[in-house]
C-alpha cells in the first residue's frame, strides 16, 4: 500500500507526528538567527575620520589643542572617508582616513567597525557576506544528494553539531580570513539543518495535512527573528550576538536518540523492516494499532524501489521548464526577502523597531498562507503575495524619496514584507511537492541553492544605497518591486499541486492522458503516482 494511504489509516498528523514535528522545528529558531544575523553583526554605523594618512596628525592636533579648537575646526573639514585641510583661501587638500570613530547609538561594536570595513573597504563586507552565504548555496546543492543517500536523521544531527562548534569558534576568530571560513562552514551546516528538518516534517504527514508541515515551520523561523531582535538589542556587540546564536545548538545533540528516520525515505531505499517498525510506533502512539493490518505493511515488499539520479530532473521538457521556473522563483524571492531585511537600516525610524516589526508581520502572513494554501491553491496564493509585496515596496520607495513621512513609508514597507513572506512560505511547500520521494530532497535542495544565490546578490544590491547619488537610498526598493511583479507573471506557467498525493516516480505512464475522473479513481486504488501525472 502507498505510504500516504497508510497514513490515512494510522493518522495523517496524529499525536506522534505532532511531537516529532515540534522537535524538528526547534532548531529552525537558530537557523533564522544565523541567516539574518548579518544585518546585526555586519551593520555599518555612522563614522567620522579619527586620523589621516598625511604628515599632519589630525588625531593629535584635535586632542592636544582643545583649548583653541575653533582655529582648527576652521582648517579641517571632517568627512566619513576623508578630511579636507585648508585655510580661508581656495587652497585645500584632501587626505584619506586611516582610522575612524564610530557612532555607538545602535551597536557598541560590529564586525564592520572592529575591522574598519568602510569607505574603500566597504565592498569587503559584502564580499565576506557573499562568501559566507556561499556555504549555504553549497549546502543546498550537496544536502539533497547526501540526504537522499544517507537519510534525513544523520544529516540533521550532524549539521546541528557542526553549526554549534564553528559558530561559537567564529566569535573568537583572530582575523577576517578565519572568520569567513568558519562563517562559510556554519552557513553550510545551517543549510543542511533546515532542509533536512523541513523534508522530515513534510514526509511524516499525509496529503491533507501537508500545509501544516509546510507552513507551521515558518512560525518558528519568524520567532527566531524576534529573538534575534532581542539578542541584538540586549548585547549590542557582534561577538556576544554570534555566541548567543550558536552555542545553544548544543542542546539538540540529543536528537540522535529521539528523532526517527523518515519512514517514507526508508521505503524509497528498500529498507522496509525499519520503515515498518516506525509505522507501528506511529500507530501505537496515535492509538490506531487495531486499524493497521499486516498486509498494509507488506504489499510493497516484493517491489524493487525506484532509484533516482539528478539527471532524472531533466528527463523531459515539461519537467525541465518547471524546474527552471521554480528555481528562478527561488532566486528572486530570496533577493527580495533577505534584501529587505538587510535594508532595514536604510528605512526611516529605529533600527531595532524596524526589525521587530518586520519579524512580527510574518506571523499574520504565515497565518494567511496557512488558511488559504489549500483553499485557493499554491499558484494563486503565491501570485497574490508577490503582487501585494511588489506594489507596496514600490510605494515605500516613492514615499521614502518624495514624501518622507515615517509612519506611511514604514506601513507600506511592512505590508510589502507581509506579501513577500506569503510567497516565501508557499514556495517551500510548492517546490517539495513537485518532486518524487527519491529526489524530493535533491529538488528542494537545488531550489534552496538558487535561493542562496539570490541571498549572495542581496548585499551587492544594497551597495546601491552608497554608490548611486540621489536615488540610492530607495533604488533597492524599486528593484525589489520590479522583481516581485515580474516573477508573479512567470509563475502562471507552473502547475497546481494542492491536495495531490506526493509523487513517487518520474516515469511517464500512458494513464496521464486519462480524464480527471479516471485519474482520481486510479489514485484512490493506491497506484504509484508519477511526477507528471500528479501535476496535470
Same domain, 167 and 256: yes
* Higher per-residue confidence, 38 vs 233: 233
What pLDDT digit, counting tens, does each position of 421-467 carry? 998 888 877 877 777 666 666 777 778 788 888 888 887 777 666 66
Q: How is residue 214 written as a grid cell?
A: 509546510
Q: CA-CA distance, 521 to 3, in Å (whole number)?
A: 17
Taking alpha carbons only, the member of 444, 493, 419 closest to residue 330 is: 444
Report the sign of the C-alpha dihedral through residues 322, 325, 328, 330, in that order.
Answer: negative
Same domain? For 336 and 275 the reply is no
- Across 64-78, 366-380, 429-443, which has the greatest mean pLDDT? 366-380
Q: Are residues 287 and 344 in the same domain?
A: no
Longest dimension (CA), the chain: 97
Domain boundary among 275, 298, 321: 298
Q: Which of 238, 263, 298 is the last residue of a domain?
A: 298
Lay out the sheet containing 82-86: strands in order across: 47-52, 92-102, 82-86, 76-78
- How do beta strands 47-52 and 82-86 pair? unpaired
> What does pTM read for this prediction?
0.76
Q: Tell whether 205 and 268 lie within a shared domain.
A: yes
CB 393 within 8 A of CB 480: yes
Same domain, yes or no: 177 and 267: yes
pLDDT of residue 161: 95
User: Stretch 195-220: mean pLDDT, rounded?
Assistant: 85
Structural domain includes residue 290: yes
In this structure, the answer to whether residues 294 and 318 fall within a common structural domain is no
Given a contact cutoff of 8 angstroms between Cβ atoms, the answer to whether 344 and 352 are in contact is no
CATH of the domain at 433: 1.20.1250.20
Q: Residues 205-213: what's their mean pLDDT?
A: 81
Whole-Å CA distances, 431 to 236, 269, 306, 357, 379: 37, 22, 21, 28, 11
Task: Identify the pLDDT of residue 512.
Answer: 32
**CA distance linking residue 85 with residue 108, whole number of Å:** 30
Q: 306 pLDDT exceeds 60? A: no
Structural domain ending residue among the three candidates 298, 325, 340:
298
Specify the higher pLDDT residue, 89 or 58: 89
Find out whether 152 and 262 touch, Cβ atoms under 8 Å.
yes
Amino acid at each position: 500500500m502507498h505510504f500516504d494511504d497508510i497514513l490515512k489509516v494510522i493518522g495523517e498528523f496524529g499525536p506522534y507526528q505532532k511531537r516529532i514535528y515540534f522537535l524538528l522545528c526547534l532548531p529552525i529558531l537558530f537557523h533564522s538567527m544565523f541567516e539574518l544575523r548579518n544585518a546585526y553583526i555586519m551593520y555599518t554605523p555612522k563614522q567620522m575620520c579619527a586620523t589621516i594618512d598625511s604628515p599632519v596628525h589630525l588625531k593629535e592636533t584635535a586632542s592636544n589643542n582643545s583649548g583653541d579648537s575653533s582655529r582648527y575646526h576652521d582648517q579641517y573639514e571632517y568627512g566619513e572617508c576623508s578630511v579636507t585641510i585648508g585655510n580661508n583661501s581656495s587652497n585645500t587638500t584632501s587626505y584619506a582616513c586611516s582610522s575612524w570613530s564610530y557612532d555607538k547609538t545602535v551597536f557598541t561594536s560590529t564586525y564592520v567597525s572592529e575591522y574598519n570595513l568602510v569607505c574603500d573597504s566597504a565592498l569587503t563586507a559584502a564580499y565576506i557576506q557573499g562568501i559566507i552565504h556561499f556555504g549555504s548555496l553549497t549546502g543546498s546543492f550537496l544536502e539533497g544528494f547526501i540526504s537522499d543517500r544517507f537519510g534525513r536523521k544523520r544529516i540533521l544531527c550532524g549539521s546541528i553539531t557542526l553549526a554549534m562548534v564553528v559558530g561559537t569558534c567564529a566569535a573568537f576568530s583572530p582575523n577576517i580570513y578565519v572568520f569567513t571560513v568558519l562563517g562559510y562552514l556554519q552557513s553550510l551546516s545551517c543549510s543542511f539543518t533546515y532542509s533536512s528538518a523541513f523534508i522530515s516534517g513534510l514526509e511524516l504527514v499525509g496529503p491533507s495535512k501537508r500545509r501544516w508541515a509546510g507552513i507551521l515551520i515558518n512560525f518558528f523561523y519568524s520567532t527566531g527573528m524576534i529573538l534575534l531582535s532581542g539578542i541584538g538589542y540586549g548585547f549590542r556587540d557582534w561577538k556576544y550576538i554570534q555566541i548567543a546564536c550558536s552555542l545553544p545548538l548544543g542542546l539538540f545533540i540529543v536528537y540522535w536518540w529521539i528523532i526517527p528516520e523518515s519512514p517514507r525515505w526508508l521505503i524509497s531505499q528498500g529498507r522496509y523492516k525499519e520503515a515498518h517498525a516506525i509505522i507501528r510506533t506511529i500507530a501505537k502512539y496515535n492509538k490506531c494499532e487495531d486499524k493497521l493490518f499486516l498486509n498494509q505493511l507488506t504489499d510493497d515488499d516484493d517491489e524493487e524501489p525506484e532509484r533516482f539520479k539528478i539527471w532524472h530532473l531533466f528527463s523531459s521538457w515539461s519537467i525541465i521548464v518547471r524546474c527552471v521556473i521554480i528555481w528562478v522563483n527561488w532566486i528572486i524571492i530570496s533577493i527580495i526577502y533577505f534584501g529587505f531585511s538587510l535594508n532595514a537600516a536604510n528605512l526611516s525610524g529605529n533600527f531595532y523597531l524596524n526589525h521587530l516589526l518586520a519579524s512580527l508581520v510574518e506571523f499574520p502572513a504565515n497565518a494567511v498562507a496557512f488558511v488559504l494554501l489549500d483553499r485557493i491553491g499554491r499558484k494563486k496564493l503565491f501570485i497574490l503575495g508577490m503582487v501585494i509585496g511588489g506594489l507596496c515596496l514600490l510605494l515605500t520607495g516613492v514615499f521614502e524619496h518624495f514624501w518622507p513621512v515615517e509612519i506611511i513609508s514604514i506601513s507600506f514597507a511592512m505590508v510589502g514584507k507581509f506579501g513577500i513572506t506569503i510567497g516565501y512560505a508557499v514556495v517551500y511547500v510548492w517546490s517539495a511537492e513537485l518532486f518524487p520521494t527519491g529526489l524530493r530532497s535533491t529538488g528542494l535542495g537545488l531550489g534552496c541553492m538558487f535561493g542562496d544565490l539570490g541571498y549572495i546578490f542581496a548585499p551587492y544590491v544594497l551597495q546601491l544605497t552608497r554608490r548611486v547619488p540621489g536615488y540610492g537610498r530607495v533604488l533597492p526598493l524599486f528593484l525589489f518591486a520590479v522583481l516581485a511583479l515580474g516573477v508573479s507573471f512567470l509563475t502562471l506557467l507552473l502547475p497546481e499541486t494542492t491536495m495531490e498525493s506526493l509523487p513517487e516516480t518520474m516515469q511517464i505512464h500512458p494513464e496521464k492522458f486519462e480524464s480527471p475522473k479516471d485519474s482520481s479513481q486510479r489514485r484512490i486504488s493506491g497506484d504509484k503516482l508519477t511526477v507528471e501525472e500528479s501535476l496535470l
